[in-house]
Amino acid sequence: MEPKALPKGHKKLIHAWAFYDWANSVYPLVISSAIFPIYYGAITLLKDDKGLVIDDSVQFLGFSFNNDALISYVTGLAFIVISLMSPLLGGISDYIGNKKNFMKFFNYLGASACIGLFWFSIENLWFGLICYFFGLIGFWGSIVFYNSYLPDIAYRDQQDKASAKGFSLGYIGSVILLIFCLVLILYYEFFGFESESLPTRISFILTGIWWIAFSQYTYSYLPKGNRKGNAKTKDLLWNGFKELKNTYQKIKSSFGFEPYLRAFFVYSMAVQTIMLIATYFGVGEIQWPEGEATTGLIVSILVIQLVAIAGANLASKLSEKYGNINILIGINFIWIGICVFAFFITQPIQFYITAFFVGLVMGAIQSLSRSTYSKYIPEEEKDTASFFSFYEVTEKVGIVIGMFLYGFIAQVTGSIRNAILFLILFFIGGIVLLFRLKVKTKI
């Protein structure tokens, strides 16, 4: 028996929505940021006895790729697919009123792909990259519909705190699983494993199971959606496009909506790229003592996750006093400082310091960007999946550009550092656009 439907603004409904962050945040931590990048580096990098990289090339499709460039191209391709697919699916789900089912589909697709990564090896490179590809599709596809519930379950004055609560739960939940996986990997002999490889790959299975299992609490409370048409109509695709067009017209006609999307597109391009490449940077550019790379990188990621909780909640409180746009401008300035500092770092202690500040501004900018966008959606609007599909497309197209630029610069120059320095331009662009928006409107 399903729980009774809860009204908008109810604390239990907001908590159930936010709890999906607890369920799905293990993917970006374990797969995108922590264990998988380290595992990928271990099987694709050739190092000497001192731990220095002597060959970072990977043979794929008859071509030789820089290992960082290859994974960035696959990531970029996945985001192209998401960018093309999510607006249409958002329109269709709003029309037939079943966005929860769409959310479930992508949830289960992504979780299954995580489990499939257990069989990732240099010999099974094709299969591993396909699983990595569909893991990205599943995670980001489900996020479109998850985020679209924010204006459905919380009123405007609740949305900053609700968004921060979601990210906070996500950071906490993902850290718990990461620590458990880290214990398995570091003390593999105690658990009867012959090497780090098997417990590392088991962590991919645990990620998929965690994601599916904990999402069930969210699904038990979220409403199905607001039906607008007949789910069996033969013109479903056409109606999806029509819903998408109507939403775009509303965005264009709403004061400040489109300018905010442009600003978000520019600075998010840099933020998301840094989040995706941070661990690869740590693997290839930091001079870790022998045998300490894995531990050091995961400790750094734990620092990022824990500090991000404070960042998300701090941004929510500061926005009440100074306004969302002002705080977003300040956060972008801090990102610029982080990029400049990261360009020069080589030692572990410097990487830890960078991780601390990355976590602080990462939690702040993710949480506040989502709730700021939600506030632009008219209070009476019910077609929220269509609105948030534009938000997700804006973010994903930015990631595609950012990742391909990163991959290209890494391929041509042989250094990730040059790509990180280049990303400063996007933060500057974001600041300029936010300042222009500030002149026109204030949230």
Q: Is 320 helix (H, G, I), strand (E, B) or coil?
A: helix
pLDDT, one tens digit per residue, over 364-396 is 998 899 888 888 887 777 667 677 777 777 777
pLDDT of residue 237: 58
In sequence order, which ranges of 222-323 are alpha helices (DSSP H)?
236-253, 257-285, 293-322
Cβ neighbours around 189 below 10 Å, total? 10
β-partners of residue 66 are 57
What is the C-alpha separation between 406 and 68, in angstroms, rounded? 9
- The torsion angles phi and psi of 2, rounded to 5 degrees, stand at -75, 145
What would the two tokens of residue 286 be?
């930091």
pLDDT of residue 409: 79
Q: Where are the domains of the chain?
A: 31-52+61-230+265-440
Q: What is the mean pLDDT of the chain?
A: 82
Is residue 332 very low, low, confident or very high in pLDDT (cuts 50, 70, 90)? very high
Distance separating the N- and C-terminal Cα atoms of the chain: 41
What is the C-alpha separation between 31 and 27, in angstroms, rounded? 5
What would the two tokens of residue 46 be?
């050739």
Matching residue, tokens 């985001």: 79
pTM, two decimals, is 0.75
Q: Please state the CATH superfamily assignment of the domain spanning residues 31-52+61-230+265-440 in this structure.
A: MFS general substrate transporter like domains (1.20.1250.20)
Contact 15, 220 (CB under 8 A): no
The residue ranking higher by pLDDT, 350 or 30, is: 350
Mean pLDDT on 85-93: 71
Rama region for 66: left / alpha / beta (φ>0; ψ in -120 to 50; rest): beta
